[in-house]
Amino acid sequence: MIDQPFFWAGLILVAAGVSLQAAAYLAAALQGERRARRQGAAAGTPEGLAMAAGAVAMLLAVAAIVLAFWRLDPTLPFGYSLRALVWGGGHILQYLHVTGMATGWIVAISVALVTVFPARRVLRILLWVLLPFMAAATASYLVWRPEELLINHLITILTFGGLGAAGVPVFFMALSAVMAAGRPLPWASPLFGGTVVSFALYAIGGVMGLIGFTQDTRVPAHYHGMVGAVTLAYMGLTPMLLEICGRRPWSARLTRWQPYLYGIGLLGIMIGMHWAGGHGAPRKTFGFTWANAQAILGMNIMGAGSVLAILGGLAFVLNMGIPLVTRRRQC
């Protein structure tokens, strides 16, 4: 964060822009739902509901930050006040990306395996379960001051509770759909590859969040797993979206291998950080005065994984970006 007027103005404009987009999506979704009911059509799809839940999360996250700013103690040190300001909103944004990841899984499995995602009614119920947790996290700023919520663990409990109650069952439903596929699995498809690697990072990162979750590098190991799972779900969808726009990825080979390269790199980062943290490596600490041989080995594994992840990320940017800035190829 930069304490500069133009920087703050930019943040406000970004918040206003994404809020307008989220509100517009919800308005369009409600209109479509009413139109479907008048025509006697079936209820909305689970992926549509997931995107709507993500839009609600975006609006509630912005509302939480506004409430925190309104109730923030002006005498707090600048760094501490920033943390208190975005604590709740940042946690609520996790709901946005989990619903986005779930949408990616649903679409990817349906398209790549040419199947219907199982138990769609149960899936809709699970997505509705997220809403009261998100609303409670935002409403808590009307009861407690932001600096109190920073230390009383309520926001953390609501986030873990909501995402655990809905996200974990959705993961197992998606995994069961893949395992029950009555056809050879399309490992060369970026839709399928990105989804499977996303599954792996989500599962391993989730377990890491339950084991040794103290203030060492095991915490960012967990973070990299969960954020990486979301990123891979988005990456897997991108080639399909690019083709819908009338363009194709720059390299078919990169399209096949990029999700695996990026995912293996992230897995190396996670294993290395978790290993080092288990041998005393503190998070957010400069230098190696704390280090022993085992911790240094773990950090070297993290470094090797970082190289692979960077190469995978660069491959994605080039493979998806070059077709966007060059003349469209005639089919």
Long-range contacts (CB closer than 8 Å, 24 or more residues apart) made by 219-227: 219/277, 219/283, 220/273, 220/283, 221/269, 221/270, 221/271, 221/272, 221/273, 221/274, 221/277, 222/270, 224/266, 224/269, 224/270, 224/273, 225/201, 225/266, 225/270, 226/201, 226/202, 227/97
Among residues 185, 202, 235, the one where a domain terminates is: 185
Percent of the chain with pLDDT over 90: 58
Give 118's contacts (C-beta < 8 A, 6+ positions apart).
173, 176, 177, 180
User: Does 284 lie in the same domain as 234?
Assistant: yes
Which pTM was predicted? 0.88
In this predicted structure, what is the pLDDT of residue 180? 83
Return the sign of the alpha-carbon dihedral for residues 209, 213, 218, 220. positive
In this predicted structure, what is the pLDDT of residue 148? 93
**What are the pLDDT digits (tens) for 239-272?**
999 999 889 999 999 999 999 999 999 999 999 9
Is residue 254 within 8 A of residue 321, CB to CB? The reply is no
User: Does 95 lie in the same domain as 11?
Assistant: yes
**How far is 203 from 200, CA to CA, in rounded Å?**
5
User: Does 170 lie in the same domain as 212?
Assistant: no
**Mean pLDDT, the chain, integer:** 89
Among residues 154, 185, 216, the one where a domain terminates is: 185
> Of 53-57, 117-121, 285-289, 324-328, which one has max mean pLDDT?
53-57
The residue ranges of DSSP E strands in 100-206, in sequence order, are none
The residue ranges of DSSP E strands in 15-118, in sequence order, are none
User: Does 279 lie in the same domain as 150?
Assistant: no
Q: Per the domain annotation, does 2 fall within a domain? A: no
User: Does 167 lie in the same domain as 55?
Assistant: yes
Q: Per the domain annotation, does 1 fall within a domain? A: no
Q: Please say if the pLDDT value at position 328 is more than 70.
A: no
**What are the pLDDT digits (tens) for 161-182?**
888 888 888 889 888 888 887 7
**What are the pLDDT digits (tens) for 194-228?**
999 999 999 999 998 887 667 788 999 999 999 99
In this predicted structure, what is the pLDDT of residue 291? 72
User: Does 212 lie in the same domain as 331?
Assistant: yes
User: Does 235 lie in the same domain as 292?
Assistant: yes
In this predicted structure, what is the pLDDT of residue 143? 93
In this predicted structure, what is the pLDDT of residue 263? 96
**What are the pLDDT digits (tens) for 35-90?**
878 877 666 788 888 999 999 999 999 999 999 999 998 888 988 999 999 999 99
Domain range holding 298? Answer: 186-331
User: Does 43 lie in the same domain as 14?
Assistant: yes
